Amino acid sequence: MGPPCTQCGVATVHDSDVGYVCPACGNILDPGRVVLAADDAPPTLADTPLSGGLKNARGRYIAGADQEARTRKNMLEMHRFIKNLSRAALVSGLSDRACNLFEQAMGTGHYRWGRTAKLVAGACISIALRLGSRPELFVELSQLLGEKTTALTSTFSSVISALKMDPLPSSEPKSHLQTLQEHLHAALDSAESGLPSALISTLKPLPSNTVSATAMALSDLLVSSATPSAVAHLPTAPTACAVLLWAIEAELRTSLAQVGELAALLARKYNASKPVVMNRYKTIQDELIARIDKVDWLDHYEPNSGKAGRAKIPRRTVAARGLKAIIELERETRREEFSGHTPEDHTPSEMRRVFSAIHLSVPSRPALLARRPTTRLYCLCRHIFSLRSF
């Protein structure tokens, strides 16, 4: 273990290439060691002579031969650059694929050498990450390149168009969840995170494995359901922030009072804005409420049902309480479709009848329901029907 990280305070680990690195936030204690230069000498022009180069009587290359030599030299330099950029971004396993994409992009798009070629190299690494169903790392790569994120994303779109890879397989929100959780944990352990103390005390006891599983399931629900979500085709990083917010509230079974502060913290990881994340949060809430309204035994949002014209249960709380049940119902529906069962095998009316019978016949119902929520009774009904006992 090395010295504590200057950003989040977590103990660092030593890496032979870049020195001490924080495993939580990825901060490098000595950034001067991360240089985009090869540790091993790449092949030189002397090692890879030109084939077919023609010289005149004075020993000089004829027109076009010297340009071919410069092109090969630049290509070798950029291969070295891509390998070290991949290593600095901790994705060195994708360097060969990125080099192949770079050669195709330079040959097809006729990009200039220099700054443009470096942006193309970063774009090719992002494409390789996307093809591997991993986040594109636009922010991290643009920082390593010393460029604005918008310049890299613009080049990314240009390279995709030049290589005719449109539509490129889109990444999913769940590919960002691990990074967001590590960012959140580092912020909870840091005194400079700016989060309210009440919010920190609320989030720290939550089991990270359960929150992660709920967030993964919600991401799959939004992307792969029969009717795709309205956020399925939007940029995935802000959507992942909103998904993690809902997973946290589902674990708490209530809404967070300081959800705006938490949304701003998560958005900063990807240079997104708080309003964008909250807009995705609101869109997901509307879709959850629409699904919950179709399930009779879940709490529904009923406006003007309480005092002063307010709802007895707030809309966000209804969505937070019903999220896990909606995920489980979606899984059960997919299992039925896979096994070939039809919805008529156990109709909603029969399910409600058996559910009500079990629900009303339980002795000391309030105490038992406090230990075994209503959701578990409904799952028991589904299990009874799956055994074909009726």
DSSP secondary structure letters along 215-280: HHHHHHHHHHSSS--TTTTS-HHHHHHHHHHHHHHHHHTS--TTHHHHHHHHHHTTT--HHHHHHH
- Contact between 114 and 145 (Cβ < 8 Å): no
Tokens for 335, please give them.
């299992």
Q: Which residues contact 238 (CB under 8 A, 6 or more apart)?
A: 267, 270, 272, 276, 277, 280
CA–CA distance, 232 with 222 (Å, rounded to integer): 6
* 3-class secondary structure, 10: coil
**Window from 56-60, 196-200, 202-206, 308-312 with minimum mean pLDDT:** 56-60
Any idea which of 125-129, 248-252, 277-281, 339-343 has the lowest mean pLDDT?
Answer: 339-343
Residues 6+ apart with CB under 8 A from 174: 215, 216, 219, 220, 240, 243
Structure tokens at 251: 């674990």
- Is the confidence at residue 218, as pLDDT, over 80? yes
Q: Which residues are bridge partners to 21 per DSSP?
A: 13, 28
Percent of the chain, pLDDT > 70? Answer: 70
pLDDT reported for residue 361: 41
Between 303 and 110, the higher pLDDT residue: 110
Q: Averaged over 302-313, what is the pLDDT?
A: 68
pLDDT tier at 31 (50, 70, 90 boundaries)?
low
pLDDT at 92: 82
pLDDT for 201 beyond 70: yes
C-alpha 58/C-alpha 61 separation (Å) is 9
Among 159-168, 206-215, 317-326, whose mean pLDDT is lowest? 159-168
**Residue 363 pLDDT more than 50?**
no
Tokens 């990083």 — which residue? Answer: 237
Per residue in 49-108, pLDDT tens? 434 455 556 666 555 556 777 788 888 999 999 999 888 888 888 888 899 999 999 888
Domain boundaries, given as residue ranges, for the chain: 1-34, 35-47+62-162, 173-307, 344-390
Token output for 227? 């009717």
pLDDT of residue 43: 41
Half-sphere exposure of 306 (CA within 13 A, CB side): 9
Q: Indicate if the pLDDT at residue 326 is higher than 70.
A: yes
pLDDT by residue (tens digit) across 92-125?
888 888 999 999 998 888 888 889 999 999 999 9
Residue 359 has pLDDT above 50, yes or no: no
- pLDDT at res. 81: 92
35-47+62-162 domain in CATH 1.10.472.10? yes
Helices (H), the chain: 65-88, 95-109, 115-131, 138-145, 149-162, 177-189, 197-203, 208-224, 236-252, 259-268, 274-292, 315-339, 348-361, 365-371, 374-386
- 182 vs 18, which has greater pLDDT? 182
pLDDT at 313: 80
- Distance of CA 19 to CAs 10, 81, 88, 225, 250, Å? 15, 20, 11, 44, 40
Residue 385 in contact with residue 358, Cβ under 8 Å? Answer: no
Lowest mean pLDDT among 2-11, 110-119, 199-208, 347-356: 347-356
pLDDT given for residue 14 in this prediction: 76
Q: Average of pLDDT values for 341-364? A: 46
SS3 311: coil
344 HSE (CA, 13 A, CB side):
0
Residue 252 has pLDDT above 60, yes or no: yes
Q: Which residue has the tokens 């494995």?
A: 209
- Count of CB atoms situated within 10 Å of the CB of 187: 22
**Cα separation values, 61 from 52, 64, 66, 72, Å:** 11, 8, 6, 15
Regarding predicted confidence, which is higher, 194 or 382? 194
Residue 239 · residue 249 · CB < 8 Å: no
d(C-alpha 290, C-alpha 296), whole Å: 12
Phi/psi for 190 (5° steps) reads -100, 140
Is residue 243's pLDDT more than 80? yes
pLDDT, residue 244, reads 93
Lowest model confidence (mean pLDDT) among 85-89, 107-111, 150-154, 224-228: 224-228
The pLDDT value given to residue 63? 54
